[in-house]
Structure 1
């Protein structure tokens, strides 16, 4: 009991320390706040390593922090206990042993392994059940935004350390769906069926929600945090007062950094408020690593071997605060790809706006270091039943998603040698397929696109490929 009390006290101290360090980072450390020239951040070079380098102007101390964070991001973690004490603590249950397994060269993940029909580790399975309004479930909803599945937790783990069985395997099957344009062009969409196989910890809860999620790009994560809250909230139109059919709303999420409700910015449903919280969430769910923000192993109560797995008792956390800060610094100070805005690009941008895409994929925000162009409003939108995953995350309903960021799309083929799979579950093979899956609030815009002459549709698709 004394040990448990001490660990709780340490955790409370660590969280307070995080808040303090966040303030110090903003003032002293984060290179983005010291940038004087946009060219220090952006690169127009379209290559595999475009977003794998730091912004310019880091001093020696900052560069050392960047390299330290890069090492924890790239080098594999191993299970405990190990002689490699800097990187042990993997699991007991996990999906991947490195961050780059899901984010190659800091970019988007692929749906399948290279030259294979096997799903890649970049596709994860999120699990939850409806709240029954008990005190326990209300606490989950307040702190996590959802209630985890009782036997398997928040995310299905496809790997386990020695002596701990993995949880299961995801699989996807697709059914072809034909869509006919007014000009008689026919497009084939792939409608997914989600499958879970080889479940080793019993049956799923009868009301379990299963959502497949493909890893997004990590480009510009630090820039996103610089967007003022009021700039995002200014685009809310919850009651659709302007009558355009689009009624975006912000996700309000619990932050374990501030112990308050904050504006969500990150993840497919905008359920994380800050870069460091998103990193800690991924470390916990994807690699089974404990941090000051997630001090407990990712084992459920029913997973006996997982709970009994050996731990390195010399350290309180697998990833202590200084290492978590280093990874945050690394990801916050990556170069950002910016396409050349030539006449062809500007022409495509005007068409993008004319069709109505920019109603949600807002083209720019002003920040303290200048204009940034993520092509998202960071708000939740109802995308209709065809895209709905049924998963609730804080104020996001089962059919609502944060507007996906479009910047960096041009990098995917350079990094992975193949065109990007789009939407939250990777079902769309092309930009046109992704557009045709849009429903709900985006139905009118989709119809406008479908009514364009074929050459204009091709022009818009070409523009998207440049972002």
Structure 2
């Protein structure tokens, strides 16, 4: 064998050793049930490309004064408030102000409904006007939103019991809202007197992910689109600073993020905790299972999902009354937050959890302690559990 052949074989063997060594050094991919990001199953190749474009726009695009930021704003990117598509941190909590009743926001000309507390050099950031009520909203997790959007209105109306006809003390109801002209009706949309059912936001005051995304660009970053182009700083309509395609890519990304995957489903304590959850009536608001209906995205249509929410408003009592409302929601009414993904919240919140609409609760048990109103009976039952049963219930919730 010649020297050239020996050298070639040596180089090939060396490359194999390097490849194997590198593979051992590189970290493996995280398990699907340990992360919130990633697309739903069943997307086409073209749809996966749209998902990737939206992912890049959502997580990598940073806005500055040169590409549309401000003049007043809260954040400089979408991903800065939703690390890993998870919940926000108290440092990224938003402030909504200006509406103390259901007659409308009287402070829109002063920057409402969202406080833009940061500003470009030479510009004064917004402050809460005298006389305006306000509330703090911690950014929610993004996952499974398209599946929640695909749940038919009829399902939500079927879950509502506004007059508490069954006498169980729980009277969830939809938030009937006016919607922007650019919103397209979902399949099966139900309209009443010019109002539609909201399902996103802390008070279910947002109709769909198009409205949510357009509002976020405009109110969070001061970036104007052809959908939302009102400049609260000077009250002027200005030209779009972001393309429709990029907004639509982000909407598609949010629609097609997968649902959180429950962990330890076969663990005996988790199974026992799930039964306790049912026994103390938590599931009457945190509805475990829903079915999506028709969707323009086949991967979202007619799916069984487990979000643990009814997407309805409930009176949560005086401890959670911030004196602020949106749409037809009253100040103490809040949309039931989905519990799926709860156990992964700390991954995006600095290793700790900050729960409830404003992040005030530092644990699941503390969050339950603030429940009142329609949730009073369940809270009392939770507090009466023995230590073992309470631990099993919390273990179940952390598995979601």
Note whether the superposition's TM-score is higher than 0.5: yes
In the alignment, which residue of structure 1 is the partner of 2:245?
A: 322
Q: Indicate the residue corresponding to 1:222 in structure 2.
A: 146
Classify the secondary structure of the residue corresponding to 2:195: strand
Counterpart in the other structure of 1:243: 167
Deviates more, 1:439-448 or 1:148-157: 148-157
Structure with a larger share of its residues in strand = 1
Match of residue 205 from structure 2: 271
Q: Structure 2: which 5+ runs fail to align? A: 1-29, 186-193, 293-300
1:176 matched residue in structure 2: none
Counterpart pick for 1:455 among 382, 388, 394: 388
Question: What is the distance in 2 between the residues matched to 1:292 and 1:165?
Answer: 26
Structure 1 segments of 4+ aligned residues over 6 angstroms from their partners: none
Match of 1:164 in 2: 123
Specify the alignment match of 2:93 in structure 1: 123
The Cα of 1:153 is off from its aligned counterpart by: 2.4
Determine if contact 2:63/2:69 at 8 Å carries over to the other structure: yes
Distance 1:128 1:262, change over 3 A: same
Determine the structure 1 residue equivalent to 2:364. Answer: 431
- Contact 1:44–1:339 under 8 Å retained in 2: no
Residue 185 of structure 1 corresponds to which residue in structure 2? none
Contact 1:265-1:272 within 8 A present in 2 as well: yes
Secondary structure of 2:134's aligned partner: strand
Aligned to 1:255: 179
Deviation, structure 1 residue 57: 3.8
In 2, Cα distance between the equivalents of 1:300 and 1:445? 48
Q: Relative to 1, partners in 2 of residues 1:239 and 1:44: Cα closer, same or farther, differing over 3 Å?
A: farther
Q: Which consecutive residues of structure 1, in runs of 5 or more, have no partner in the other structure? A: 1-42, 83-87, 112-119, 168-198, 302-306
Per-residue Cα deviation, 1:354-376 (whole angstroms, up to 9, x for no partner): 01100100001012432101100
1:332 aligns with 2:317: no
Tell whether 2:280 aligns with 1:355.
yes
Selected match of 1:445 from 363, 375, 378: 378
Q: 1:444 to 1:130 in 2, by over 3 A?
A: closer
Aligned mate of 2:354, from 414, 421, 425: 421
Let me know the Cα RMSD of the aligned residues: 2.2
C-alpha deviation, 1:258, in angstroms: 4.5
**SS in structure 1 opposite 2:110?**
coil
Q: Contact 1:151–1:300 (CA<8 Å) still a contact in 2? A: no
Structure-1 separation of matches of 2:221 and 2:253:
18
Q: C-alpha distance in 2, partners of 1:325/1:429?
A: 35
From the CA coordinates, give the structure whose radius of gyration is larger.
Answer: 2
TM-score by length of 1: 0.71
What is residue 72 of structure 2 aligned with on the other side?
Answer: 93
Kindly provide the CA deviation profile for residues 298-333 of structure 1, in whole angstroms up to 9, marking residues without a partner as x.
3255xxxxx69xx7xxxx312232111100111111
Give me the whole-angstrom Cα distance separating, in 1, the residues matched to 2:392 and 2:307. 20
Count matched residues. Answer: 351
2:215 is aligned with 1:288: no
- Alignment check: 8 A CA contact 1:280 1:291 kept: yes
Equivalent-residue separation in structure 2 for 1:443 and 1:51 (angstroms):
31
Separation in structure 2 between the aligned mates of residue 404 and residue 53 of structure 1, nearest angstrom? 21
Q: Distance in 2 between matches of 1:348 and 1:92?
A: 49
